[in-house]
């Protein structure tokens, strides 16, 4: 029936000829089994045409329908109009809230009851860590099983050997010399603006981002290796098929099958597991289980759980002291930085439209990072009362 669509018709075609051929366009715009089969076969029979076809696909992909955009000025004005409305609304809400305070208190109580019960029922591994408050101390702290506290500087290397002895920067520390202490939990507390890394007794490497706590035993004695996380970490788990590695967070558990991945469980930040390499299984308190493939992200938001394909390195690059951005708006970049360095950043609405591509090195001070940004983008900054104020140049 479709006699005109024979491969011979296309052997002399150039990319632009393909791009204007109705049958080719159909395949690009509205692929179905029939036309997909035809073009797959065509490429097989005429491998010399493959490159041309690729180029033509690229051309058609660049076709946009109704390619309209607002001018920067329009977008800015509309955004300001929207923000004006939101702020006005917020002022009204504030006034109303004073009267409604009692009503709110009652509903909060109900919500708390709702939230905590399922946690108690479904898993015994969700304990303590969720309620842990990170001290305002400026230093990273290692808390041993018998509650000795060691403070250390930013770039410290903490290593546990297989007997549970601790070395910090190559120096031996007598923390866990009693038997019962060895089995009890050690705690590493990383305050805002700091990062740390640690090697556990089984050889597993853990990077801990700012504002995070991990809990682990000096040696893994049981049939499973347990690590408790509250915050953001990146793990390279040492393989031990006989002893599965389990990361528990207040929101979910991750069962590891030998692998590299990032976990974030801060209540304030995103809650996610992102897999770089290997395989992990995520268990939520509500009984859901999900097995992740590399480059997949398992996330929790108020609407529930979901899995999404992502570029995993963007989520874990902080361990290498860099952040990667791909078209994020400048406020997103600044929020990331304000989190990393625990500094308040104030910015002007204009910077909403500045987009950021590429990598950003996490230098020791946020000012150095901002200097780098200022070179690349039309912004300037100043420091006022420990706050950083960003505006357009």
Partner 1 sequence: MEYTLKPNSLFIDKISLVNGLQKGEDLAFALLYNQYADLLFSYGTGLGFAKEDIEDSMQEIFCNLYLNHSKIHEINNLKFYLLRALKNRLLNVSQASRTQNFIDMENVDFYTEVTVLDDLIDAEDRTAIQKKIQSYLDELTGRQREAIYLRYIEDLDYEEIAELMNMTVPSVRNLVFKAIKQLRNSKIPSLMWPILFSIVKI
Q: Which of residues 272-291 bind partner 1 (CB under 8 A)?
A: 272
CA–CA separation, 158 vs 138, rounded Å?
18
Strands 245-248 and 225-230: parallel
Pick one of 12, 30, 241, 287: the residue that binds partner 1 (CB under 8 A): 30
Question: Interface residues for partner 1 in 235-274 (CB under 8 A)?
Answer: 268-270, 272
Question: Interface residues for partner 1 in 338-367 (CB under 8 A)?
Answer: 338-339, 342, 344-349, 352-353
Residue closest to 329 by CA, chosen among 379, 267, 365, 367: 379
CA–CA separation, 296 vs 365, rounded Å?
32
Specify the stretch interacting with partner 1 by CB under 8 A; choose among 61-69, 95-103, 196-204, 372-380.
Answer: 61-69
**What are the φ and ψ backbone dihedral angles of 201, each rounded to 5 degrees?**
-65, -20
| Residue 377 within binding range of partner 1, rule CB under 8 A | no
CA 327 to chain centre: 16
Taken as a whole, the chain contains a residue count of: 393
Pick one of 6, 9, 26, 288: the residue that binds partner 1 (CB under 8 A): 26
Q: How far is the CB of 150 from partner 1 (least distance, A)?
A: 26
One symbol per residue from 189 to 208: x for binding partner 1 (CB under 8 A), - otherwise; what is it? ---x----------------
> CB of 268 within 8 A of CB of 278?
no
Q: How far is the CB of 304 from partner 1 (least distance, A)?
A: 8
The residue (of 30 and 113) whose beta carbon lies closer to partner 1 is 30
Q: How far is the CB of 389 from partner 1 (least distance, A)?
A: 8
> CB of 150 within 8 A of CB of 156?
no
Pick one of 3, 8, 22, 121: the residue that binds partner 1 (CB under 8 A): 22
Both tokens of residue 307?
Answer: 């899995």
Pick one of 134, 150, 335, 392: the residue that binds partner 1 (CB under 8 A): 335
Say if residue 46 is exposed, middle or buried (CB neighbours under 10 Å; 0-12, 13-18, 19+).
middle
Q: How far is the CB of 179 from partner 1 (least distance, A)?
A: 41
DSSP states of 112-128 as a string? HHHHHHHHHHH-TT--G
Question: Interface residues for partner 1 in 290-329 (CB under 8 A)?
Answer: 297, 299, 301-303, 306, 308, 310, 314, 328-329
């Amino acid at each position: 029936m479709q006699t005109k669509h024979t491969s011979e018709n296309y052997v002399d075609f150039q990319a632009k000829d393909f791009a204007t051929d109705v049958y080719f366009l159909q395949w690009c715009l509205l692929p179905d089994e029939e036309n997909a089969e035809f073009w797959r076969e065509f490429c097989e029979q005429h491998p010399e045409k493959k490159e041309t076809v690729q180029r033509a696909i690229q051309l058609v992909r660049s076709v946009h329908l109704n390619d309209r955009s607002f001018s920067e000025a329009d977008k800015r004005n509309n955004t300001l109009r929207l923000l004006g409305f939101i702020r006005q609304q917020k002022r009204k809400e504030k006034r109303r809230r004073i009267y409604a305070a009692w009503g709110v208190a009652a509903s909060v109580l109900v919500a708390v009851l709702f939230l905590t019960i399922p946690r108690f029922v479904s898993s015994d591994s969700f304990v303590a860590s969720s309620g842990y408050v990170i001290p305002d101390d400026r230093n990273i702290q290692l808390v041993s099983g018998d509650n000795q506290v060691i403070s250390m500087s930013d770039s410290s290397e903490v290593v546990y050997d297989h007997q549970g002895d601790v070395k910090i920067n190559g120096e031996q520390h007598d923390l866990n010399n009693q038997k019962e202490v060895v089995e009890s939990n050690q705690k590493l507390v990383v305050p805002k603006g700091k990062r740390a890394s640690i090697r556990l007794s089984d050889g597993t490497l853990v990077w801990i981002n700012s504002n995070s706590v991990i809990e682990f035993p000096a040696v893994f004695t049981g049939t499973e290796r347990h690590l408790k996380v509250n915050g953001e970490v990146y793990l390279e788990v040492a393989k031990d098929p006989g002893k599965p590695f389990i990361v528990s967070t207040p929101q979910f558990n991750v069962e590891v099958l030998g692998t590299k991945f990032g976990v974030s469980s801060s209540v304030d930040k995103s809650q996610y597991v992102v897999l770089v390499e290997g395989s992990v299984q995520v268990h939520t308190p509500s009984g859901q289980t999900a097995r992740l493939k590399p480059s997949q992200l398992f996330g929790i938001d108020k609407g529930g759980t979901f899995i999404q394909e992502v570029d995993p390195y963007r989520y874990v690059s902080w361990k290498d002291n860099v952040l990667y951005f791909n078209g994020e708006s400048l406020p997103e970049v600044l929020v990331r930085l304000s989190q990393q360095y625990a500094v308040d950043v104030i910015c002007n609405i204009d910077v909403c439209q500045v987009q950021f591509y590429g990598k950003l090195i996490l230098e020791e001070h946020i000012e150095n990072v901002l200097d780098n940004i200022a070179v690349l983008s039309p912004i300037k900054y100043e420091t006022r009362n420990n706050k950083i104020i960003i505006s357009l140049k």
